[in-house]
């Protein structure tokens, strides 16, 4: 199994069917678009999601983290 | 401790070898196979982490839904102001076919978002991305996931951390 260590210390396993995808690289234009979307205020939640959240709060679940 | 607290019906916890996933069927071959073949193997190697949901009214070990998260990063080209954009990838999220229309998909997604927010509050995360199945796309659009600005990964949807924080804040009101 070939393992390549990037300068950023991210390890990519190039075979073995574990994480065999190429790293995502961004051009300057794509990075600008991403930065813009990160800087924008979040859109209001739809009434459908608000209802889903209300239902979520009613689910009696034990969370073990 | 008072004795009046109602016993939780559901349990959400990290997947272990004690969980029964053999009968899980979400009607998606990849997502069934991931849970039954890869999820635990990846978790034991700290490559991703899978949380499984059980319905205690039925079985404390049979999985009725799950989600898997792992870290990912974007690498802006050399002229950008940052070297790396850290994100979380929602590798998989599915519920058993017997659990449609019960809010289980929403529950799992919100719990996954809660995990992302926890990580973001500790080490910084720009957002969450995923490559949705055709069946899942409608769920993610409801939560304001947007098409990714990447030109060559049109399959990806992205949700910025600001929206994730807003959603989790709403669950705590």
CB contact under 8 A, A26 and B75: yes
Nearest in space to A37 (alpha carbons), one of B131, B93, B150: B150
Q: pLDDT tens-digit profile of B79-117?
A: 778 889 999 999 999 999 999 888 999 999 999 999 999
Q: At A21, is the pLDDT very low, low, confident or very high (cuts 50, 70, 90)?
A: low
DSSP letter at B35 equals I
Identify whether B5 is part of a domain: no
CB contact under 8 A, B146 and A26: no
Identify whether B78 is part of a domain: yes
Identify whether B3 is part of a domain: no
Pairing of strands A24-26, B63-76: parallel
Q: At A27, is the pLDDT very low, low, confident or very high (cuts 50, 70, 90)?
A: confident
Report the number of distinct structural domains present in chain B.
1
As a whole number, mean pLDDT of residues A4-33 equals 60
Identify whether B127 is part of a domain: yes
Identify whether B116 is part of a domain: yes
- H-helix or E-strand spanning residue B43: helix B39-44
For chain B, how far is it from start to end, CA to CA, in angstroms? 25
Identify whether B49 is part of a domain: yes
Q: pLDDT tens-digit profile of B133-153?
A: 888 888 999 999 988 877 677
| B170 in contact with A, Cβ within 8 Å | yes
Output phi, psi for B127, to 5 deg.
170, -170
- Alpha-carbon distance of A22 to B89, in angstroms, equals 14
Identify whether B1 is part of a domain: no
The DSSP code sequence of A18-42 is: SS-SPPEEE-HHHHHHHHHHHHSPP
* CB pairs A-B closer than 8 Å: 130
Identify whether B91 is part of a domain: yes
Bridge partners, residue B74, by sequence: A24, B85
- H-helix or E-strand spanning residue B76: strand B63-76
- Closest in A26, A30, A49 to B142, CB measured: A49
Q: Which residues of B touch A63 (CB under 8 A)?
A: 12-13, 111
Among B75, B118, B146, which would you mutate to test the A interface (most chain A Cβ atoms within 10 Å of its Cβ)? B75
Burial A9-19 (b: 16+ CB within 10 A, else e): eeeeeeeeeeb
C-alpha dist (Å) from residue A15 to A19, A21, B50, B116: 8, 10, 22, 28
Measured between CA atoms, the residue of chain A closest to residue B77 is A27
The domain of B75 spans 10-171
Q: At what angle do helices B104-123 and B161-171 cross, to 10 degrees?
A: 120
CB contact under 8 A, B79 and A28: yes
Q: At A8, is the pLDDT very low, low, confident or very high (cuts 50, 70, 90)?
A: very low
Q: pLDDT tens-digit profile of B40-81?
A: 999 999 999 999 999 999 999 999 999 999 999 998 887 778
CB contact under 8 A, A53 and B76: no
- Alpha-carbon distance of A64 to B131, in angstroms, equals 27
More reliable by pLDDT, A8 or B145: B145
CB contact under 8 A, B12 and A62: yes
CATH of the domain at B16: 3.40.630.30
């Amino acid at each position: 199994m070939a393992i390549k260590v990037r300068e950023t210390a991210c390890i990519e396993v190039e075979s073995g069917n574990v994480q065999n995808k190429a790293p995502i690289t961004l051009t300057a234009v794509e990075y600008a678009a991403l930065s813009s979307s990160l800087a924008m205020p979040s859109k209001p939640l739809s009434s459908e999601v608000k209802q889903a959240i209300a239902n979520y709060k009613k689910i009696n679940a034990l969370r073990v983290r | 401790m008072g004795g009046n607290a109602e016993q939780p019906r559901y349990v959400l916890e990290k997947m272990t070898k004690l969980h029964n996933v053999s009968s899980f069927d979400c009607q998606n071959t990849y997502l069934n196979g991931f849970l039954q073949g890869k999820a635990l193997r990846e978790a034991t190697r700290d490559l991703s982490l899978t949380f499984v949901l059980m319905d205690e009214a039925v079985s404390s070990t049979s999985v009725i839904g799950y989600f898997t998260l792992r870290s990912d990063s974007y690498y802006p080209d050399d002229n950008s102001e940052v070297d790396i954009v850290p994100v979380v990838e929602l590798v998989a999220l599915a519920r058993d076919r017997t659990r449609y229309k019960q809010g289980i998909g929403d529950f799992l997604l919100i719990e996954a978002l809660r995990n992302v927010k926890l990580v973001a509050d500790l080490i910084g995360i720009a957002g969450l991305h995923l490559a949705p199945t055709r069946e899942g796309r409608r769920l993610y659009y409801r939560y304001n996931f947007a098409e990714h600005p990447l030109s060559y990964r049109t399959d990806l949807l992205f949700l910025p951390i600001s929206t994730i924080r807003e959603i989790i804040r709403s669950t705590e009101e």
